[in-house]
Structure 1
Amino acid sequence: MTITTFGATIGLIVAIILIIKKFEPFYCLVFGALIGGLVGGANLVETVEYMAIGAKDMAPSILRVMTSGFLAATLIKTGAVDRISEEIIKLLGLNKAILGIVLSAMVLAGVGVDLDVVVLTVGPIGMSIGHKLGYSKLAILLAALGGGKAGNIISPNPNTLAAATNFNVDLSSVMLANVIPAICGIIVTTILAKLLINKGSKIDIDINIEEDENLPSLFASLIGPIVSIGLLFLGNVSSIVVDPLVALPVGAVVSIFATKNLKNTREYMSFGVAKMQGVCILLLGTGTLVGIIQMSNLQNSTLGLLDMLNVPQFLLAPVSGMVMSLATASTTGGSTIASSTFSQAILSSGLSGVSGAAMVNAGACVFEHLPHGALFHASTRSVSMDIAERFKLIHYEIIIGVVIVVASTIVQLVLMNL
């Protein structure tokens, strides 16, 4: 039984509309999958079976994401994220405040902290600096968001984990593949943020960020994620391959010992599970829709459309990531749906698994900040900005995302032709 392209498309559209209407994303995805299967010609039993298979195929990604929550929770609860961001901004000084905010957000996202936490951590520090220098909220927030985008595509976060798993390649290779695009993202973010320094509302509240003596040292803050990333990269330089399922919790344990918080281990584990529950539920719902799409002719129809338009097939990788992030306003959702649905078609275009995963992941960062996603609202709160002003940043964020995905595409094509 093959579901029609029309049915799969209708299911996807239904899910998108419901998500935009602010219904719970998990149920939107499940309902969209159900509609897609039935409209596409499958009976109820077949539709549910395809949905279940799709959800089951998400198990490896969900398992890795759940374990990654332990490292993220440890960095957050020990105060490591605060120490890292403070030290980076302090090191660069007020003269390079914008670059400091960008790099701070990039590093936090790059070591495995999700973007909501990144902007909520960096935002108040940026507000304090912005008040002293007379910078606008727009400049401060764009610096944090753009830096977060750049860090997210080279991180062990759920979006990169999902892309690597679905293309069956090492996570470290996907992280490494987008280093140059991340640098491009840092550069364009810094330029755009500086252009906004005198535009929009100024920071009228003096937020006094005092150095907390109880925060861990910079070494103690960084050693955990350094160990995790080092373990992940072992497979690139030796025959030892360490799965994220092991590498990320090991980094968490190292962080706990380095920051002398062994007594709080149970609390951090609980916080990590709670932190990742929402992401894992989203992945499960995504799996049901992916199951329907994978049983449909959507991949063949998409490739046929690209041929008809004379568009190179390799562009399916970045474009699918962009389209799915537009639908879900989530890097994780966009990367997961695109990599699950189109991985075989992308590989058949001649791209390697690493290149395909990297380009999909980069594409998924373009529209993650749209209003029907959580990041839009978390970032708005981080600098006490009103909704009307927050909308003024959307096109700047899209520009940063487009620069990142274009850079990723060019880098992977150059590597493919070497």
Structure 2
Amino acid sequence: MMIAGFVPALFGLAVTVIVASMLKKKGTMVSAEEAVNEQEVDTSKYPPLKTAIVAPLVAVILLMINPIGSILNIDLLASFKVDAMFILPIAGVIGMLAMGKANKILDYSASGLNKMTATVLILLGAGGIAGLISNSDLSTQVVSIIEASGISGTFLAPIAGILMAAATASTSTGVILATGSFGEAILNMGTAPIAAAAMVHTGATVIDSLPQGNYFHVTAGSMNMSIKQRMGLVPYEAIVGGTMTLVATLLYGFFL
């Protein structure tokens, strides 16, 4: 699957560079006053890399145990099934202990929860939308429209990815929802599984950054952008995602 997405990704990268080059002089420019960091950050209290990396390293290792066991057919590792909801806090506590911040566990945990509240609410909303779609007849209606229009059934895969990612404002959730709701119909159209996966995945990148998703707000916040300014980027993101979708559809739906 990763190899199948490599060629579309190259085209997406090229288009990203082209679009970014065209837009670099447009929009609201960052002033010199905004660029200057008026408050010097005191880094003397920052932990060294060897202790700061403990938490993410522990999380990655714990999350990789099950996939590695499945790939290598090691039953002991494959049987290790712990949800990320438990692994991430455990890794965080271990990281704080490694950094010598055991007395700050409650303070840091409360700070993290406060920062994640808005994101959690957004994810709950996206999950609610996903639940409504998966329990509706939307997939049947979309398949009927495609059959009635007379266009190739190959287009069902990218269309499913586009629609589901737009509804949930999430690439990953959109792909999961598209495969769950449209998977059987896509394969019944005669599309190979790898080809279908590549087209659904690229389709889910077209309009996946919308206000009902957390990625939209994270990227806006990181650049101090208003909602209006962030919405202005959606068409350009769609150009990049649309390019990858077009390449994947032509490559795996018609040429290969």
TM more than 0.5: yes
Is structure 2 residue 23 aligned with structure 1 residue 196? yes
> What TM-score results when the alignment is normalised by the length of structure 2?
0.67
Counterpart mapping for 1:51-130 below 5 A: none
Deviation, 1:281, is 5.0
1:282-328 deviations in Å (ceiling 9; x for gaps): 324521342132xxxx5455334334444332321211121233344
Deviation, 1:346, is 1.6
Is structure 2 residue 135 aligned with structure 1 residue 279? no
Deviation, 1:363, is 1.8
Is structure 2 residue 159 aligned with structure 1 residue 326? no
Deviation, 1:243, is 8.2
Determine if contact 1:329/1:369 at 8 Å carries over to the other structure.
yes
Deviation, 1:375, is 4.3
Determine if contact 1:228/1:251 at 8 Å carries over to the other structure.
no
Identity of aligned residues (%): 24
Determine if contact 1:223/1:258 at 8 Å carries over to the other structure.
no
Counterpart mapping for 1:370-409 below 5 A: 370-371=210-211, 373=213, 375-409=215-249
* 2:188 matched residue in structure 1: 348
Determine if contact 2:123/2:213 at 8 Å carries over to the other structure.
no
Is structure 2 residue 72 aligned with structure 1 residue 238? yes
1:327-346 deviations in Å (ceiling 9; x for gaps): 44443553344333212112
User: Alignment length, in residue pairs?
Assistant: 239
1:330-372 deviations in Å (ceiling 9; x for gaps): 4355334433321211222334555544433332221123456
Higher Cα Rg, which structure: 2
Is structure 2 residue 202 aligned with structure 1 residue 362? yes
1:37-79 deviations in Å (ceiling 9; x for gaps): xxxxxxxxxxxxxxxxxxxxxxxxxxxxxxxxxxxxxxxxxxx
Determine if contact 1:231/1:247 at 8 Å carries over to the other structure.
no
Unaligned runs of 5+ in 1: 1-173
Alpha-carbon separation, structure 2, partners of 1:412 and 1:268: 46
* 1:167 matched residue in structure 2: none
Alpha-carbon separation, structure 2, partners of 1:351 and 1:378: 36
Determine if contact 1:232/1:247 at 8 Å carries over to the other structure.
no
Determine if contact 1:235/1:242 at 8 Å carries over to the other structure.
yes
Alpha-carbon separation, structure 1, partners of 2:3 and 2:93: 26
* 1:311 matched residue in structure 2: 151
Determine if contact 2:126/2:213 at 8 Å carries over to the other structure.
no
Determine if contact 2:8/2:247 at 8 Å carries over to the other structure.
yes
Q: For the structure 1 residues 333 and 229, does the alpha-carbon distance in structure 2 shift closer, same or farther, using more than 3 Å as the test?
A: closer
Q: For the structure 1 residues 359 and 231, does the alpha-carbon distance in structure 2 shift closer, same or farther, using more than 3 Å as the test?
A: farther
1:238-288 deviations in Å (ceiling 9; x for gaps): 224748953745576556546625836676598398554642453245213
Taking only aligned residues, the RMSD between alpha carbons, in angstroms, comes to: 4.3
Alpha-carbon separation, structure 2, partners of 1:413 and 1:255: 44
Q: For the structure 1 residues 185 and 225, does the alpha-carbon distance in structure 2 shift closer, same or farther, using more than 3 Å as the test?
A: farther
Alpha-carbon separation, structure 2, partners of 1:402 and 1:343: 21
Deviates more, 1:379-388 or 1:396-405: 379-388
Determine if contact 1:325/1:365 at 8 Å carries over to the other structure.
yes
Letter in 2 for 1:246: V
1:119-146 deviations in Å (ceiling 9; x for gaps): xxxxxxxxxxxxxxxxxxxxxxxxxxxx
> What TM-score results when the alignment is normalised by the length of structure 1?
0.45
